């Protein structure tokens, strides 16, 4: 008897496994033609995983009961209220830090990754129905094979820091709204290919080799990720995001050209204006020889030794002391006094430093000199039209990417930061200049008007920056540039909680009264987060059994086994109905029921074992014992099965 049961349960397992595999292969399919539809994400970066710790001076947490809200939570809430649907969560580049190649100070400034902190960050994102971009905030992790192996090991394991299956293995079935950002900004200067003799001699054509090198590393990442079964979107970065040798209109050539088996790749360009690249460079010619050399002070831009320096008497500095003998010194703002009246007014151009208030007195210093690149005797700066042109080029770069490589655009950084020498209205990493503000507004407008709309994360909403009055929210603090720009909102979709019963199987369609029937049921988590729920099995509204599933990861299938003891069941036709209790917040319940018909025959009668298959299934529809509700449920089940033939929509209803 025991061995007989074993055989039947094994048969059930095979059936259930087969149905589970069939289902899995459906959901992994992607749309075959054109671009797969992708969520359009908008939000802010800057906040770190380490900012998920309680802020003891914060308000009560809405996410973690009894805690004070972390800065991460407060920023997520603020973003949510402003109509953003995504938040970037950064952490220090483990491998760059480990091998002494991090350019941050301290090297782990962005915070060392912990699984606990990413869990907290995801819990916060889920609470606000947001997407989370998991950002390995590094630059130099493509330096050599040691770094690359370390980097892949960090993401996919085994790793002492991230576990046996790495970050991806630990979280791939924990939350559907993750976007992986494998590397923030690959620094192509760190690539071995960049130091080859040919590349040193041919810097412009060498960009192609650098991009090909970055493509190989990203492809390794993608291949390992997809082989692990992960289906999340992944962001690939243009090399010009960190810095490239191309002119701005050619930046589209530096997008890594990867392949993805499930077509879920975004390409990103970090959208900034770097001030020194757009103006004539300025220096203080300390030894007054009209040549940039030892002892001179660079003020704007990098200047090669022995470069000629020109005079423009309208380069003046903010005269803080009124002392007649005062000269320019490090840290003093410089203004181009266009109307040459010794006063800062609206027609003048800020050159560097924090822009003074209108009517501030200016003073010439003949040693304030510049590199007259176009040899016209006049210092050239930037203005709104410079911003408009740069924004246009960058927008065309994005359009070119999609036209050439086919991936949707999602820029994971962009903002008003324009280098330390930029003339800031408000200084610091969270500050802005009027021209860089104009630029990012242009970018936001272009991305918003584009069809399809392009995704963008702005930089930076974080509490770590030194910008005055940046408070908890950085550039999103009241009065900062994040509150000055105009942007359309992004769709915020409630998290789907959906448990579907995918099959019900029995060992025999006809059984003698008084015997036991094994019933197998499979449930699948079609929602976006792990779920706990009950599954009940009954016949004619009489409970056979109830089982609890305590944690079913996203996309996972759970097989459950019930035994129907027919000792007290009269011979006749019955419908066994399995129901999964609604997951928290589940709205559509049409697919949480499965039914199967079974004949209980008198155990004195001879068993006819030919009665399997569809004829019996449909016979159930006309059985007098079958209630109307059960018939509806079966019909609904058939409709559901048909509906579920459409791939992708199951796991990602948001994708359409
Ligand atoms: Ca000099
Ligand atoms: Ca003036
Ligand atoms: Ca000039």
What would the pLDDT profile of 409-441 be if each residue is shown by its tens digit? Answer: 999 999 999 999 999 999 988 899 999 999 999
Give domain status of residue 442, yes or no. no
Residues 75, 18, single domain; the answer is: no
Span from the CA of 280 to the centroid of ligand 3 (angstroms) = 7
- pLDDT in the model for residue 586: 72
Residue 622 is part of a domain; what is its CATH number?
Answer: 2.60.40.10
Residues 164, 301, single domain; the answer is: no
Average pLDDT over residues 299-305: 98
Identify the residue with better confidence: 618 or 390.
390
Please, which pLDDT band fits residue 590 given cuts at 50, 70 and 90?
low
Please, which pLDDT band fits residue 319 given cuts at 50, 70 and 90?
confident
Span from the CA of 287 to the centroid of ligand 1 (angstroms) = 5
**Is the predicted pLDDT of residue 154 greater than 90, yes or no?**
yes
- pLDDT in the model for residue 139: 98
Residues 79, 21, single domain; the answer is: no
Residue where one domain finishes, among candidates 381, 399, 424:
381
Residues 21, 54, single domain; the answer is: no
- pLDDT in the model for residue 624: 27
Residues 334, 220, single domain; the answer is: no
DSSP state letters, 297-351: EEEES---TTEE-EE-TTEEEE-SS--TT----TT--EEE-TT-SSB--TTSEEE
**Is the predicted pLDDT of residue 1 greater than 60, yes or no?**
no
- 266 and 407 in contact (C-beta within 8 Å)? yes
- pLDDT in the model for residue 256: 98
Give domain status of residue 440, yes or no. no
**Is the predicted pLDDT of residue 255 greater than 80, yes or no?**
yes
**How many angstroms separate the CA atoms of 546 and 562, rounded?**
8
- 456 and 414 in contact (C-beta within 8 Å)? yes
Span from the CA of 327 to the centroid of ligand 3 (angstroms) = 23
Beta bridge partners of 45: 459
Span from the CA of 410 to the centroid of ligand 3 (angstroms) = 37
Give domain status of residue 422, yes or no. no
Average pLDDT over residues 516-533: 95
Please, which pLDDT band fits residue 616 given cuts at 50, 70 and 90?
very low
Span from the CA of 310 to the centroid of ligand 1 (angstroms) = 11
Give domain status of residue 547, yes or no. yes
Residues 211, 288, single domain; the answer is: no
Distance between first and last Cα of the chain: 52
**Is the predicted pLDDT of residue 604 greater than 90, yes or no?**
no
- pLDDT in the model for residue 324: 87
Residues 320, 390, single domain; the answer is: no
Measured in residues, the chain has a length of: 656
Residue where one domain finishes, among candidates 358, 381, 404:
381
Ligand at shortest distance from the CA of 284: 1
Q: List residues, by chain if needed, whose CB lies under 5 Å from ion ligand 1.
A: 285, 287, 289, 291, 293, 296
**Is the predicted pLDDT of residue 622 greater than 80, yes or no?**
no
Give domain status of residue 131, yes or no. yes
Of 251-255, 519-523, 590-594, the least confident: 590-594
Span from the CA of 374 to the centroid of ligand 3 (angstroms) = 5
Give domain status of residue 482, yes or no. no
Of 84-93, 498-507, 600-609, the least confident: 600-609
Q: List the structure tokens of 441.
A: 């507004």
- 427 and 475 in contact (C-beta within 8 Å)? no
- 342 and 363 in contact (C-beta within 8 Å)? yes
Domain count, the chain: 3
**Is the predicted pLDDT of residue 15 greater than 80, yes or no?**
no
Residue where one domain finishes, among candidates 436, 461, 486:
461
Please, which pLDDT band fits residue 156 given cuts at 50, 70 and 90?
very high
Pairing relation of β-strands 265-268 and 233-237? parallel
Residue 97 is part of a domain; what is its CATH number?
Answer: 3.20.20.80
Q: Quickly list H helices, 157-277.
A: 166-171, 197-201, 203-227
**Is the predicted pLDDT of residue 585 greater than 50, yes or no?**
yes
Give domain status of residue 436, yes or no. no
- pLDDT in the model for residue 623: 27
- pLDDT in the model for residue 34: 38
Please, which pLDDT band fits residue 292 given cuts at 50, 70 and 90?
very high
Instruction: Supply the range of the domain harboring residue 406.
Output: 42-273+384-413+453-461
Residues 606, 525, single domain; the answer is: yes
Residues 538, 643, single domain; the answer is: yes
DSSP state letters, 565-631: E-TT--SEEEEEEEEEPPPTT----TTSEEEEEEEEE-TTSPP-TT--SHHHHHHHHH-TTS-HHHH
Residues 523, 623, single domain; the answer is: yes
- pLDDT in the model for residue 24: 35
Residues 164, 299, single domain; the answer is: no
Average pLDDT over residues 598-607: 78
For a pLDDT cut of 90, what percent of the chain falls above it?
82
Residues 393, 325, single domain; the answer is: no
Give domain status of residue 424, yes or no. no
């Amino acid at each position: 008897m025991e061995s007989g049961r074993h055989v039947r349960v094994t048969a059930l397992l095979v059936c259930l496994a087969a149905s589970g595999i069939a289902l899995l292969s459906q959901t992994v399919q992607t749309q075959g033609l054109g671009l797969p539809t992708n969520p359009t994400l908008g939000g802010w970066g800057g906040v770190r995983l380490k900012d998920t710790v309680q802020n003891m001076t914060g308000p009560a947490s809405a996410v973690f009961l009894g805690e004070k809200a972390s800065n991460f939570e407060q920023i997520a809430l603020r973003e949510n209220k402003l109509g953003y649907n995504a938040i970037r969560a950064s952490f220090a580049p483990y491998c760059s830090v480990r091998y002494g190649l991090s350019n941050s100070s301290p090297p782990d400034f962005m915070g060392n990754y912990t699984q606990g902190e990413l869990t907290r960050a995801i819990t916060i994102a889920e609470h606000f129905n947001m997407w989370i971009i998991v950002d390995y905030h590094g630059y130099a992790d493509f330096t050599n094979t040691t770094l690359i192996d370390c980097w892949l090991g960090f993401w996919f394991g085994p790793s002492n820091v991230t576990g046996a299956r790495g970050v991806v293995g630990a979280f791939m079935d924990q939350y559907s709204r993750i976007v992986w950002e494998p590397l923030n900004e690959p620094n192509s200067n760190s690539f071995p290919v960049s130091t080859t003799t040919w590349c040193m001699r041919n810097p412009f054509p060498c960009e192609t080799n650098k991009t090909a090198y970055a493509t190989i590393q990203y492809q390794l990442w993608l291949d390992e990720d997809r082989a692990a079964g992960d289906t999340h979107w992944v962001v690939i970065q243009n090399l010009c995001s960190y810095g490239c040798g191309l002119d701005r209109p050619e930046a589209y050539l530096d997008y890594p050209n990867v392949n993805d088996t499930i077509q879920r790749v975004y390409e990103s360009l970090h959208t900034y204006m770097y001030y020194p690249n757009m103006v004539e460079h300025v220096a203080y010619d300390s030894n007054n020889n009209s040549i940039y050399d030892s002892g001179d002070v660079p003020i704007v831009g990098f200047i090669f030794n022995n470069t000629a320096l020109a005079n423009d008497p309208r380069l003046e500095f903010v005269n803080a002391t009124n002392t007649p003998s005062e000269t320019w010194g490090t840290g003093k703002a410089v203004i181009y006094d266009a109307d040459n009246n010794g006063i800062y007014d609206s027609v003048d151009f800020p050159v560097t430093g924090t822009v003074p208030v209108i009517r501030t007195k200016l003073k010439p210093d003949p040693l304030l000199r510049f590199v007259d690149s176009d040899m016209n005797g006049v210092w050239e700066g930037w203005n709104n039209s410079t911003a408009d042109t740069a924004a246009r080029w960058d927008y065309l770069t994005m359009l070119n990417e999609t036209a050439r490589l086919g991936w949707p655009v999602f820029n994971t950084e962009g903002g008003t930061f324009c280098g330390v020498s930029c003339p800031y209205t408000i200084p610091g990493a969270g500050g802005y200049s009027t021209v860089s503000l104009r630029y990012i507004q242009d970018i936001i407008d272009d991305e918003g008007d584009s069809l399809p709309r392009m995704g963008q994360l702005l930089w930076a909403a974080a509490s770590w920056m030194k910008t005055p009055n940046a408070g908890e929210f950085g550039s999103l603090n009241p009065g900062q540039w994040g509150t000055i720009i105009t942007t359309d909102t992004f769709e915020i979709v409630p998290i789907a909680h959906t448990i579907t019963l995918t099959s019900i199987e029995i060992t025999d369609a006809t059984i003698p009264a008084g015997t036991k029937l094994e019933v197998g049921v499979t449930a699948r988590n079609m929602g976006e987060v792990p779920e706990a729920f009950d599954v009940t099995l009954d016949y004619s509204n009489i409970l056979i059994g109830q089982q609890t599933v305590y944690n079913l990861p996203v996309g996972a299938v759970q097989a459950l086994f019930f035994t129907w003891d027919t000792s007290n069941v009269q011979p006749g036709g019955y419908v066994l109905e399995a129901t999964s209790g609604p997951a928290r917040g589940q709205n559509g319940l049409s697919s949480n029921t499965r039914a199967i018909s079974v004949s209980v025959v008198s155990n004195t009668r001879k068993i006819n074992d030919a009665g399997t298959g569809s004829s019996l299934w449909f016979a159930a529809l006309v059985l007098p014992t079958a209630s109307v509700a059960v018939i509806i449920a079966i019909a609904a089940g058939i409709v559901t099965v048909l509906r579920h033939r459409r791939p992708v929509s199951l796991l990602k209803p948001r994708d359409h």
